[in-house]
Amino acid sequence: MLRKELAKEKSILLIGFMGVGKTTLGKALADKLQREFVDVDHQLEIIYNMKITEIFSHYGEAFFREKEKEIIKVLTEQKGKVISLGGGAFLQEDVRNVCLENGIVLYLDMSFEAWKERIPFIIDSRPVLHGKSEEDIKELFNVRKELYTNHHLKVTMDGKELEEIIDSIVHSLSLIKK
Ligand SMILES: Nc1ncnc2c1ncn2[C@@H]1O[C@H](COP(=O)(O)OP(=O)(O)OP(=O)(O)O)[C@@H](O)[C@H]1O
Ligand SMILES: O=C(O)C1=C[C@@H](O)[C@@H](O)[C@H](O)C1
Ligand SMILES: [Mg+2]
């Protein structure tokens, strides 16, 4: 597809619990679709020149959520991109609304059993998980799951290779009107 045509298409917005692979998959999907990739957390890290954990500890979560919302509002006005959101972005109704109106919201779903294998790899860089037991995290996982029911497309990640997931997303995208 020509870049000019792509620029008119809605952006693809990746949502799902922290650590399911929105950033990892978003990059690969953008490559496959020849779209520009934007990661909301990374944008905030650039703006504040701090890691997400530092933004949380320095300014607090409420500040982070406000800035996260502001940047998502700006980014969702842009077309033709693949944009990975942070795992907690859909906590905010304004964020849900602006994403569902302007983009194609793709939910990366995963079972808790599969997801919990990732805890050791992500715990240090996800402040929301700090100080929580596995039971607490499971509860958070289930509460957040409700929020992610607001989507246009869903892909289940359990037991699948990245390539397989990308192919199924590309197929689903080809079936919907943009
Ligand atoms: N398909 C996969 N298979 C195995 N490991 C993966 C897969 N996708 C991502 N990971 C690993 O899981 C961890 C989290 O991935 P990633 O940062 O992409 O998640 P995320 O959904 O963007 O998280 P966040 O909501 O915190 O931004 C990383 O260590 C990554 O290497
Ligand atoms: O799920 C969450 O609340 C978060 C997920 C990450 O992407 C970051 O946005 C931050 O660590 C908060
Ligand atoms: Mg991410």
pLDDT at 8 over 80: no
DSSP-derived letter for residue 116 is: G
Task: Look at residue 103 and tell me if it is in a domain.
Answer: yes
Task: Look at residue 157 and tell me if it is in a domain.
Answer: yes
Poorest-pLDDT segment among 38-42, 62-66, 173-177: 173-177
Task: Look at residue 174 and tell me if it is in a domain.
Answer: no
In Å, how far are 8, 9, 74, 91 from 145, measured between CA atoms? 31, 28, 25, 11
Q: Is 96 in the pocket of ligand 1 (CB under 6 A)?
A: no
Q: Is 13 in the pocket of ligand 2 (CB under 6 A)?
A: no
Q: Which domain holds residue 96?
A: 3-169
Task: Look at residue 177 and tell me if it is in a domain.
Answer: no
Tens of pLDDT along 90-118? Answer: 999 999 999 999 999 999 999 999 999 99
Task: Look at residue 175 and tell me if it is in a domain.
Answer: no
Number of domains present in the structure of the chain: 1
- At 81, phi and psi to the nearest 5? -110, 170
Task: Look at residue 143 and tell me if it is in a domain.
Answer: yes
Residue 23 marked in a binding site: yes
pLDDT at 5 over 80: no
- At 96, phi and psi to the nearest 5? -55, -50
Q: What is the pLDDT of residue 176?
A: 81
Structure-token match 């795992």, residue found: 87
DSSP-derived letter for residue 150 is: S
Q: What is the mean pLDDT of residues 35-60?
A: 98
Q: What is the mean pLDDT of residues 54-77?
A: 98
> Which of 41, 66, 118 best tests ligand 2's pocket when mutated (most atoms within 8 Å of CB)?
41
In Å, how far are 77, 79, 87, 97, 119 from 47, measured between CA atoms? 19, 22, 19, 24, 27
> Which of 13, 17, 22, 24 best tests ligand 1's pocket when mutated (most atoms within 8 Å of CB)?
24
Residue 128 marked in a binding site: no
Q: What is the ipTM of this complex?
A: 0.98
CATH of the domain at 23: 3.40.50.300
